[in-house]
A and B are shown apart, each in its own frame.
Chain A
């Protein structure tokens, strides 16, 4: 046992001491923060200049009714339409909107420009045209503006889950996001740390140090020591990422909060002028935070750890077996398929099916079978999973781990001492039944 600890210690320390580990530890949270910062920056400063639209309104319905937005500003055409059209062919900026006299019959306008029209500008113009025209038509039909303002149904669905403790706010959106993130994280980390195990085994085999080491310890001890050591590296990395990200986000949050009062004010001012913006000012960040709060995060995090560890132990044992069967990394390809396939399948199924049908029977089975459950269950979990299913899934996960480790150890102990022989699946099967 003492020797396994020594092996774990070596595997752990040599990796944690590496510069690349330090780099990954700081780079990944930094990249995430930088990405958020970039998105925030772009959403604030992205729209550099409002698109100018010169309106030539032959119908006389629209001109005074257009409202300027952040992206589009309207102005009445100064010259005649024909002249403006000629000019537009050479003029870089500005669009010419021509509204025909019989717009109500035609339902068609023309927009001229030298540049291509952006999608958002186009939809803004379209929406305003439609609204103005509808208002006018309603007024014509005898409904006055005041009545119109009061008839504006706005329904938001407040979904509540019925649980033993009573009603509970639930949010499909947040569940969606958390499931999504957890599944990606598990999928990636199984590959990252699994292949680290594989490379470690190949390194020991090709450098022949394995022969010295297993004259001191059993091959199984060496394999488990390596798997556990690298697993701990993974856990350390996750912990550091979470700690670093939360501190960074926390600090960033505080800085943002300082700016908040002014931004709220401007929103309100604009809100009076523009309904669309007023609607958006129901602080979306707050909504997300509240939605996430409705999920039991410590519970999900605990399950994440269980499924990461379970999945990691299952797959890294297989990775170790593959590493032991080959002489160098290029030969691993032929054995990778059975490992990659279930993972990739679950990954694709997760985002195309499970996340939309978390309680279907296919989703159920995928989250029960140990080879697919680490990813599938993490997707289902935020939507709520009955305790018995979770228990069964975890029980089978442990069973799967014992089974794969047993198989992997049998292949491993023969494989690490076989040099220069290309192994086939048939050969691997034979190794399973070798006596020691």
Chain B
């Protein structure tokens, strides 16, 4: 769907993106992660053709990015904005027409979405009369109205209460099922785990990690296990396991030594303590993020 190859973007003194490459598969939900100021917004702006890279290329469905692709992309920027004094209906209509929809078609779709998102009766309201969450909803509709093949959402949940966040989540999933590819930039790691198939992690202008969420998580497994038990836990046995975390009285985390299996450990432990639960600790995206970025 989208192939980003060796992008370099230099601002006066600051290099925002340095040789960044990634591929985004058609129909995927792709998480673009990274701390503040890492270069995510710069990359998103390049995909949106707001700015151009100094070197490197972006391919959209195999074609080099060009202005005809603008109508196929929907972009919800992190910093939301609408014309304060304009009426909602008129405003969404204007933005949709800028994306190339005819007036009649745009009107029809706005009515459909306003109904779907429980926004009936907002048409003649002004933006300044809406709450922040309501404005976000308007902007979300404006982003997807032209049925883009690629939807770029920068922090789509900020400003939403849990109920509305859930509505938006469902809409995103539905759009994805209908075939839209979604790039999703956020700091909320739990929504990344919930939604994303693949991620890329950008830090200090470099891509430091990318791949399928499940693959990444698997590769970050390090033989750590969580055990709940009763009794007196025995001391470390370096050739079998080391204790990673021991904060609560009846819970412990251990790391099994290279070449040993959980069964080996169980054989050793069973005579000494009562085991209630043993499970592998799979690192969360959050952990991986922190680990990679703080290195």
Interface residues of A (CB under 8 A from B): 3, 6-7, 10, 14, 203-204, 206-217, 417, 419, 430, 435-436
Are the C-beta atoms of B85 and A211 separated by less than 8 Å? Answer: no
Are the C-beta atoms of B81 and A208 separated by less than 8 Å? Answer: yes
- A3 surroundings in chain B (CB, below 8 A): 98
A417 in complex: contacting residue of B51, B52, B75, B85, CB < 8 Å: B51
Other A-B pairs, 16, CB within 8 Å; known A212-B81, A417-B51: A10-B94, A14-B83, A14-B85, A208-B79, A209-B81, A209-B83, A210-B81, A212-B95, A212-B139, A212-B142, A213-B95, A215-B48, A215-B75, A217-B98, A417-B45, A435-B52
Are the C-beta atoms of B85 and A6 separated by less than 8 Å? Answer: no
By beta carbon, the residue of chain A nearest B85 is A14
Determine whether B163 belongs to the interface, using a CB cutoff of 8 Å to chain A. Answer: no
Q: In the assembly, what is the distance between CA of A9 and CA of B79, in Å?
A: 26
Are the C-beta atoms of B98 and A211 separated by less than 8 Å? Answer: no
- A215 surroundings in chain B (CB, below 8 A): 48-50, 70, 73, 75, 77
Q: In the assembly, what is the distance between CA of A6 and CA of B45, in Å?
A: 23
- A10 surroundings in chain B (CB, below 8 A): 94
By beta carbon, the residue of chain B nearest A10 is B94
- B77 surroundings in chain A (CB, below 8 A): 208, 211-212, 215
- A212 surroundings in chain B (CB, below 8 A): 75, 77, 81, 95, 139, 142
- B12 surroundings in chain A (CB, below 8 A): 430
User: When each residue 220-236 of chain B gets 1 if its CB lies under 8 Å from chain A and 0 otherwise, what string results?
Assistant: 00000000000000000
- A204 surroundings in chain B (CB, below 8 A): 81, 83
- B97 surroundings in chain A (CB, below 8 A): 6
Given contacts A208-B77, A211-B79, A211-B81, are A216 and B95 in contact (CB under 8 A)? yes
Q: In the assembly, what is the distance between CA of A7 and CA of B54, in Å?
A: 29
- A217 surroundings in chain B (CB, below 8 A): 98
- A203 surroundings in chain B (CB, below 8 A): 83-84
Are the C-beta atoms of B50 and A208 separated by less than 8 Å? Answer: no
Are the C-beta atoms of A216 and B98 separated by less than 8 Å? Answer: yes
User: When each residue 156-196 of chain B gets 1 if its CB lies under 8 Å from chain A and 0 otherwise, what string results?
Assistant: 00000000000000000000000000000000000000000
Are the C-beta atoms of A216 and B70 separated by less than 8 Å? Answer: yes
Question: How many residue pairs bridge A and B at CB < 8 Å?
Answer: 61
Q: In the assembly, what is the distance between CA of A206 and CA of B84, in Å?
A: 11
Q: List 11 A-B contacts (CB under 8 A).
A: A204-B83, A206-B81, A208-B81, A209-B82, A209-B83, A211-B50, A211-B81, A213-B98, A215-B49, A217-B98, A436-B51
Interface residues of B (CB under 8 A from A): 12, 45, 48-52, 54, 70, 73, 75, 77, 79-86, 94-95, 97-99, 139, 142
Determine which residue in A3, A209, A215, A417 has the highest number of CB atoms from chain B within 10 A of its CB, and name it. A215
Tell me the smallest distance from the CB of A430 to a CB of chain B, in Å.
6
- B79 surroundings in chain A (CB, below 8 A): 208, 211, 419
Tell me the smallest distance from the CB of B14 to a CB of chain A, in Å.
11
Are the C-beta atoms of A207 and B81 separated by less than 8 Å? Answer: yes
- B86 surroundings in chain A (CB, below 8 A): 14
- B84 surroundings in chain A (CB, below 8 A): 203, 207
Are the C-beta atoms of B98 and A6 separated by less than 8 Å? Answer: yes
- A213 surroundings in chain B (CB, below 8 A): 95, 98
Are the C-beta atoms of B81 and A216 separated by less than 8 Å? Answer: no
Tell me the smallest distance from the CB of B99 to a CB of chain A, in Å.
5
Tell me the smallest distance from the CB of A325 to a CB of chain B, in Å.
15
8 A-B pairs with the lowest CB-CB distances in the bound complex, closest first: A208-B81, A209-B81, A207-B81, A208-B79, A216-B98, A215-B48, A211-B77, A436-B52
- B85 surroundings in chain A (CB, below 8 A): 14
Q: In the assembly, what is the distance between CA of A212 and CA of B75, in Å?
A: 7
Q: In the assembly, what is the distance between CA of A10 and CA of B103, in Å?
A: 14
- B80 surroundings in chain A (CB, below 8 A): 208
Given contacts A10-B94, A208-B77, A208-B79, are A214 and B54 in contact (CB under 8 A)? no
A207 in complex: contacting residue of B52, B83, B94, B98, CB < 8 Å: B83
By beta carbon, the residue of chain A nearest B11 is A434
- B75 surroundings in chain A (CB, below 8 A): 211-212, 215
Q: In the assembly, what is the distance between CA of A435 and CA of B12, in Å?
A: 11
Given contacts A207-B84, A215-B48, A215-B73, are A435 and B54 in contact (CB under 8 A)? yes
By beta carbon, the residue of chain A nearest B47 is A215
- B94 surroundings in chain A (CB, below 8 A): 6, 10
Q: In the assembly, what is the distance between CA of A207 and CA of B127, in Å?
A: 11
- A207 surroundings in chain B (CB, below 8 A): 81-84
Tell me the smallest distance from the CB of A70 to a CB of chain B, in Å.
55
Tell me the smallest distance from the CB of A347 to a CB of chain B, in Å.
32
- A430 surroundings in chain B (CB, below 8 A): 12
Are the C-beta atoms of A417 and B95 separated by less than 8 Å? Answer: no
Are the C-beta atoms of B95 and A214 separated by less than 8 Å? Answer: no
By beta carbon, the residue of chain B nearest A7 is B98
Tell me the smallest distance from the CB of A410 to a CB of chain B, in Å.
13
Given contacts A10-B94, A209-B83, A435-B54, are A216 and B99 in contact (CB under 8 A)? yes
- B70 surroundings in chain A (CB, below 8 A): 215-216
